[in-house]
Structure 1
Amino acid sequence: MTRHPTILATSGGYTRPDRGDLAFAGLVHHAVELSGTTSRPKVCTLGTAGGDQRWFNAFLAQAGTAAGFDLTCLDLFPMPSVEDVEGHLMEQDVVWVNGGSVANLLAVWRVHELDVIFRRVWEAGVVLAGVSAGSVCWYRGGTTDSFGPELRPVTNGLGLLPHDNGVHYDSEPRRRPTVHALVEDGTLGETHCTDDGVGLVYRGTELVEAVAEVDGKGAYIVTKGGDGRVVEERLEPRRVG
């Protein structure tokens, strides 16, 4: 476990290997590095946002074996796959949350009191991380296609991080203008955004750096200035992996 509550919020983490279906890329490995573990890393993945697809769990298990992780998948459909959810999460070095519908993820997590559990797990020093929906969930909110093809705001995130989040900033053409519009009208506050392959590292609630598993990508802080105009600041990430 880390000395300080730590979150790695990303728009990446996966790659296609020469053999097999899925491999963990630099951002997942960086989450393990952030945990400071010196033994076989314990990594728990959650696929709630995708409906706990068992075929994807199999891909993750394969990737975990290749990476040398002690990997488990915590399913919530049709019921929690472990007796003691909080106890299981507390035993991990890293919790990695997969993408999908962040709106559905938040609803299901609250039914199972994971909103409360994750705050305790985070405060205990387990690294919380994830991609796409697994990034937005840790913030107050962000942009999502959970409700349909047209991007809409989600504003009921777990709020461990006191900002909002924009993912896939460079790969989906409506992401940037939607973030700008929602910051301008006040729906979203200060919004931290990532291009594909980029992650943001937080110690406690402080953003300490941007990291990337590919070259040429960026992270961004989008705010509304005193004159009401939207301001976008680019952060140059450090290459990891």
Structure 2
Amino acid sequence: MVSKLIAIGGGGFLMGSENQLLDRYCLNSTGKTIPKVCFIPTASGDSEDFLSRFYRAFSRYSCEPSHLTFFRKPRVGSIPFNDIEQHLLNQDLIYVGGGNTRAMLAVWQEWKIGNILKRAWQSGVLLAGMSAGAICWFEYGGSDSTYSGKLSPLKGLGLIPGSCTPHYDGEINRRSDFHFLIESGKLPSGIGIDDGAAVLFEGQQLLEVVASKAKVKAYKVKLEDGQIVEKSISARYLG
């Protein structure tokens, strides 16, 4: 069984973009004609706006959308709490939204969601996500989900080795902060992902980088002989 995962630096329906290339890429990567898609917006506190954006975006395509929320009363498309594991394991694509990664992981721990997502991934369900939904799959993330708002280390689910940070070109201090955390040993080597770029993993191997706009990339960042080494990975433009 092939395990696949897509980490998105930024873009798509959650960032209010009419550029749907990354959304379509996620759907197409399932290999299914009418994929079952579940959206998990925990990191945003189950934002009603994010839920509306999800259904508005994915209603354009041939798919079966649903969502999993913890902070809102059930609504059309929501998963009953006693059916979470069965439902998630029956999906073709699970898409995790952005927001506060630390808070999301705390809620997931209470509900054992991380274990369920790992089983789904191992059984061939495509996992994807943007921002917090990209960081969470790695051993560690460079996350701004703190009171200070500064980038800091955060332990993830550990499906992919190393570290990750999104919005690599979209936030002024993101790149330099990520470099500092790796250089100081607070984060292991990792990958920075530009807004508009996404990284596809097959198992734990990086398969390709794709882009919804020109010139965006992903970057491998590591410490070598006491110096930060950053290597860009060219992206395949989806347009």
TM (normalized to structure 2)? 0.91
- In the alignment, the residues of structure 2 paired with residue 116 and residue 142 of structure 1 have an alpha-carbon distance, to the nearest angstrom, of 18
Q: Which residue of 2 aligns with 1:55?
A: 49
Moved over 6 A (4+): none
- In the alignment, the residues of structure 2 paired with residue 23 and residue 89 of structure 1 have an alpha-carbon distance, to the nearest angstrom, of 28
1:27 aligns with 2:31: no
Q: Relative to structure 1, is the Cα distance of residues 46 and 220 closer, same or farther in structure 2, using a 3 angstrom cutoff?
A: same
- In the alignment, the residues of structure 1 paired with residue 57 and residue 125 of structure 2 have an alpha-carbon distance, to the nearest angstrom, of 21
Q: Which residue of 2 aligns with 1:228?
A: 226
Q: Report the alpha carbon displacement of residue 68 of structure 1 after superposing the two structures with TM.
A: 2.8
Q: Report the alpha carbon displacement of residue 41 of structure 1 after superposing the two structures with TM.
A: 1.8
Q: Report the alpha carbon displacement of residue 173 of structure 1 after superposing the two structures with TM.
A: 0.8
Count of residue pairs brought into register by the alignment: 233
- In the alignment, the residues of structure 1 paired with residue 204 and residue 45 of structure 2 have an alpha-carbon distance, to the nearest angstrom, of 29
Q: Report the alpha carbon displacement of residue 15 of structure 1 after superposing the two structures with TM.
A: 5.0
* Amino acid in the other structure paired with 2:21: G
CA contact (8 A) 2:190 2:221 kept: yes
Within 5 A, what are the aligned runs for 1:1-241? 3-14=1-12, 25-37=20-32, 39-78=33-72, 81-82=79-80, 83-225=82-224, 227-241=225-239
Q: Report the alpha carbon displacement of residue 152 of structure 1 after superposing the two structures with TM.
A: 2.9
In the alignment, structure 1 segments of 5+ residues that lack a partner are none
Q: Relative to structure 1, is the Cα distance of residues 70 and 26 closer, same or farther in structure 2, using a 3 angstrom cutoff?
A: same
In the alignment, structure 2 segments of 5+ residues that lack a partner are none
1:8-40 Cα shifts (integer Å, max 9, x gaps): 001234259xxxx76572122112222111x21
1:71-110 Cα shifts (integer Å, max 9, x gaps): 1111122578423111111111111111000000100011
- In the alignment, the residues of structure 2 paired with residue 201 and residue 68 of structure 1 have an alpha-carbon distance, to the nearest angstrom, of 22
What secondary structure, in the 3-state scheme, does the structure 1 residue paired with 2:182 have?
helix
1:161-186 Cα shifts (integer Å, max 9, x gaps): 01100110001011000110000011
What secondary structure, in the 3-state scheme, does the structure 2 residue paired with 1:140 have?
strand
CA contact (8 A) 2:6 2:200 kept: yes
What secondary structure, in the 3-state scheme, does the structure 2 residue paired with 1:211 have?
strand
- In the alignment, the residues of structure 2 paired with residue 40 and residue 23 of structure 1 have an alpha-carbon distance, to the nearest angstrom, of 22
* Amino acid in the other structure paired with 1:197: G
* Amino acid in the other structure paired with 1:186: G
- In the alignment, the residues of structure 1 paired with residue 138 and residue 186 of structure 2 have an alpha-carbon distance, to the nearest angstrom, of 14
Q: Relative to structure 1, is the Cα distance of residues 42 and 208 closer, same or farther in structure 2, using a 3 angstrom cutoff?
A: same
* Amino acid in the other structure paired with 2:157: L
- In the alignment, the residues of structure 1 paired with residue 18 and residue 64 of structure 2 have an alpha-carbon distance, to the nearest angstrom, of 15
- In the alignment, the residues of structure 1 paired with residue 29 and residue 93 of structure 2 have an alpha-carbon distance, to the nearest angstrom, of 9
Q: Relative to structure 1, is the Cα distance of residues 24 and 109 closer, same or farther in structure 2, using a 3 angstrom cutoff?
A: farther
- In the alignment, the residues of structure 2 paired with residue 5 and residue 15 of structure 1 have an alpha-carbon distance, to the nearest angstrom, of 24
CA contact (8 A) 2:13 2:23 kept: no
- In the alignment, the residues of structure 1 paired with residue 150 and residue 100 of structure 2 have an alpha-carbon distance, to the nearest angstrom, of 12
TM (normalized to structure 1)? 0.91
- In the alignment, the residues of structure 1 paired with residue 232 and residue 71 of structure 2 have an alpha-carbon distance, to the nearest angstrom, of 39
Q: Report the alpha carbon displacement of residue 154 of structure 1 after superposing the two structures with TM.
A: 3.1
Q: Report the alpha carbon displacement of residue 155 of structure 1 after superposing the two structures with TM.
A: 2.8
CA contact (8 A) 2:143 2:154 kept: no
Q: Which moved more, 1:191-200 or 1:80-89?
A: 80-89
